[in-house]
Amino acid sequence: MPDLAAPAAVDVVAAQRRTVRVLAAGQVLSGVAFGSTLSLGALLAADLSGEESLSGFATASVTLGAALTAIPLARLAARRGRRIALTTGNVAALSGIALVILAASTRAFPLLLVGIALIGAGNAATLQSRFAATDLSTTARRGRDLATVVWATTVGGVVGPLLLAPGELLGASIGMPRLTGAYLFSLLAQACAFALYVLVLRPDPLLLAQRLDRERAPTARASPEIDRPRIARFAMLAVAASHVTMAAVMAMTPVHLAHIVAPDAVTVAVGVTISLHVFGMYGLSPVFGILADRVGRIPVILLGQVLLAVALTVASTAADSQTGVLIALLLLGLGWSAATVAGSALLTEATPLAARPRRQGHSDTLMTGSAAVGSVLAGLILGLNGYGGLALWAFVPIAVVCAGAVFVRSRPA
């Protein structure tokens, strides 16, 4: 491996700056790839199956693909480095996009789900980019470096959906199946991300960190390398529970808006609401990263729970107001951002370098798997108790995180 054979004298600060820049650029490309096509999955599923009720299988396939591959990709990173793991995700996504286009051409619904699951596998690699940003980072900058990479997703998340209409026109002009034209942009973006990681992500941040860790004298081991499994488990809980709260309410919001907004204004209302929600998720992540570095990880996790609680309060009390729902979704994104940035940083520094990829993979699997279950339950609760009732039920994960924070802070490290 060329990274392991690098000269002994390495400017770690310069390598970290380069790593963050490359990962941020990769996040922009991946965001364009996923943002321009994931929203088409449900439409394709309904079209190929002939049943609108089966459209949810597209979202389930993406989530399942990400959940099943998070741990294998983390193990691959531990053995071969971040570059190999990230490019493996790119290859999976490229294969998935090709299968989706083939499925649309042959009207094969099961093949469509396989392709979407592979795209989800690529998304699992994209999620792990935020951890790659911390491999060479210091404790004083870990939160903001991680948050910078998370923030870059905003660009792709905004640009991607804007490519749906041009993509459909382009696809129609060359005879592609309906609803697949935007996948051309996804192919291009994923291919560019693959080339970026292969050619520019050097030295590999995890391999370099592992080498420096081996060369460090035993007496020079820093205290952050002490294993703190209880803290790590709390960090995983905080990230997963916050993700469940956010995903459950967000997934049901378009359905709810269809009942409170005029039929000819539903598309605009959903677009504006989800766009603001995505901005909340990613747009202010550097702010939360700086806060996590300055005031501590657990206080910012708790700040995230406060923001989530305020969001749910607004959603439950103003469920029939489009403005109220919009404000709730914006706050929901902000709460998720604070908890995810601080929780991911806490998980990293509570775990020795050798065990980080494995725990990070477990964290992402728990996060995506819990969100899948939470989304299914959210649909059932929405039908039984309405949108306001769903918001009240979503307080349960918040209470669990707050109780966990009290427990870990009341026990000696």
Nearest to 255 by CA among 134, 378, 400, 368: 378
pLDDT at 6 over 60: no
In a domain, 220, yes or no: no
Q: Tell me whether the omega of the peptide bond preceding residue 203 falls within 30 degrees of 0, making it cis.
A: yes
pLDDT, the chain, mean: 87
194 and 231 assigned to the same domain = no
187 and 237 assigned to the same domain = no
367 against 253, higher pLDDT: 367
- And the tokens for 12? 């770690």
**Average pLDDT for 154-182:** 82
In a domain, 6, yes or no: no
Least confident interval from 57-61, 99-103, 174-178: 57-61
Question: What's the domain range around 252?
Answer: 226-410
The share of the chain scoring above pLDDT 90, in percent, equals 60
In a domain, 347, yes or no: yes
238 and 211 assigned to the same domain = no
**Average pLDDT for 149-161:** 80
How far does CA 107 lie from the centroid of its chain?
A: 30
Within a 10 A sphere around the Cβ of 299, how many other Cβ atoms?
Answer: 16
In a domain, 5, yes or no: no
Q: Supply the pLDDT for residue 218.
A: 59
- And the tokens for 166? 């041009």
CA distance 60 to 376: 9
Confidence of residue 209 (pLDDT cuts 50, 70, 90): very high
pLDDT at 28 over 80: yes
Q: Supply the pLDDT for residue 267.
A: 59
Give, for 75, the enclosing helix (H) or strand (E).
helix 56-80
pLDDT at 215 over 90: no
**Average pLDDT for 260-286:** 80
247 and 135 assigned to the same domain = no
142 and 279 assigned to the same domain = no
199 and 237 assigned to the same domain = no
**Average pLDDT for 258-268:** 77
Q: The CATH number of the domain where 38 resides is what?
A: 1.20.1250.20
Confidence of residue 370 (pLDDT cuts 50, 70, 90): confident
238 and 366 assigned to the same domain = yes
177 and 317 assigned to the same domain = no
pLDDT at 206 over 50: yes
In a domain, 136, yes or no: yes
Confidence of residue 264 (pLDDT cuts 50, 70, 90): confident
Within a 10 A sphere around the Cβ of 318, how many other Cβ atoms?
Answer: 17
Nearest to 344 by CA among 256, 239, 227: 239
Of 181, 215, 249, at which residue does a domain stop? Answer: 215
**Average pLDDT for 301-328:** 96
pLDDT at 306 over 60: yes
CA distance 333 to 150: 13
203 and 279 assigned to the same domain = no
pLDDT at 347 over 80: yes
CB 39 within 8 A of CB 254: no
In a domain, 4, yes or no: no
246 and 210 assigned to the same domain = no
In a domain, 3, yes or no: no
CA distance 207 to 138: 16
Number of domains in the chain: 2
In a domain, 367, yes or no: yes
210 and 232 assigned to the same domain = no
Of 215, 244, 262, at which residue does a domain stop? Answer: 215
267 and 200 assigned to the same domain = no
**Of 29-43, 165-179, 267-281, 385-399, which has the strongest mean pLDDT?**
385-399
Of 189, 215, 241, at which residue does a domain stop? Answer: 215
